[in-house]
């Protein structure tokens, strides 16, 4: 059973965990090469996935390609995500990543799971600057260098 892949970012409502600004997925990332990591606060594998995202974000190779790295917390409330991200021991641990949460929590998480076709987190989605999803998958299904190259070569060439 193949789901029809979505070809552009949906207008799911987001709130920035950094600025508390409300927006939508489509608005925030329009015109950018983006790697999104979906996660939850109860997920034990998610911090490692965020670490990997941070590592990629700190890699100058991708800075040149103008790749934005973002996380979207799929929890019902913002508090848990803020607590984890603002915990003193975590200071600056994930500071190269733009952090968001779904505005309507679980309702949006269900929509995102349907749209992007994931069952569990962490889950990465690669979107090029045209808004086309070029790759997606769990950490095991993702090769960052290959998938970022696949995303950025399409848009620059």
- Give a yes or no: residue 5 inside a domain: no
- Give a yes or no: residue 6 inside a domain: no
Select the more confidently predicted residue: 47 or 3: 47
- 136, 125 Cβ separation under 8 angstroms: yes
Report the candidate in 37, 13, 9 with the shortest Cα–Cα distance to residue 103.
13
- Determine the average pLDDT of the residues in 29-34: 90
The 10 Å Cβ neighbour count of residue 1 is 2
- Give a yes or no: residue 32 inside a domain: yes
The predicted-structure confidence for 43-83, as pLDDT tens digits, reads as follows 999 999 999 999 999 988 886 668 999 999 998 888 889 88
- Give a yes or no: residue 28 inside a domain: yes
Select the more confidently predicted residue: 65 or 93: 93
pLDDT averaged over the chain? 87
- Give a yes or no: residue 4 inside a domain: no
**Would you place residue 104 in the very low, low, confident or very high pLDDT band (cuts 50, 70, 90)?**
confident
Q: What was the pLDDT predicted at 1?
A: 41
The Cα 102–Cα 55 span in angstroms is: 24
User: What is the model's pTM?
Assistant: 0.89
- Give a yes or no: residue 113 inside a domain: yes
Which domain CATH number covers 98? 3.40.30.10
- Give a yes or no: residue 138 inside a domain: yes
- 8, 132 Cβ separation under 8 angstroms: yes
Task: Give the number of domains in the chain.
Answer: 1
- The DSSP secondary structure of 45-84, one letter per residue, reads SHHHHHHHHHHHHT-HHHHHTTEEEEEEE--SSHHHHHHH
Beta bridge partners of 101: 15, 73
- 7, 132 Cβ separation under 8 angstroms: yes
- Both tokens of 76, joined, read 């019902």
Q: Is the dihedral of CA 57, 112, 19, 23 positive or negative?
A: positive
- Give a yes or no: residue 157 inside a domain: no
Q: Which domain holds residue 88?
A: 13-151
- Both tokens of 108, joined, read 């949006």
- Both tokens of 67, joined, read 């790749």
């Amino acid at each position: 059973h193949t789901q029809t892949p979505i070809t552009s970012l949906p207008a799911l409502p987001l709130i920035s965990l950094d600025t508390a600004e409300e927006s939508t997925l489509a608005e925030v990332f329009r015109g950018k090469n983006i790697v999104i990591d979906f996660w939850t606060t109860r997920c034990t594998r998610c911090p490692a996935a965020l670490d990997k995202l941070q590592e990629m974000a700190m890699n100058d190779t991708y800075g040149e390609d103008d790749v934005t790295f973002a996380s979207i917390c799929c929890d019902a409330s913002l508090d848990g995500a803020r607590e984890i991200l603002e915990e003193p021991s975590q200071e600056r641990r994930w500071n190269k990543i733009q952090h968001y949460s779904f505005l309507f929590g679980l309702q949006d998480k269900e929509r995102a799971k349907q749209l992007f076709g994931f069952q569990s987190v962490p889950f990465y989605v690669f979107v090029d600057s045209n808004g086309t999803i070029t790759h997606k998958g769990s950490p095991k299904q993702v090769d960052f260098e290959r998938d970022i190259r696949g995303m950025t070569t399409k848009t620059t060439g």
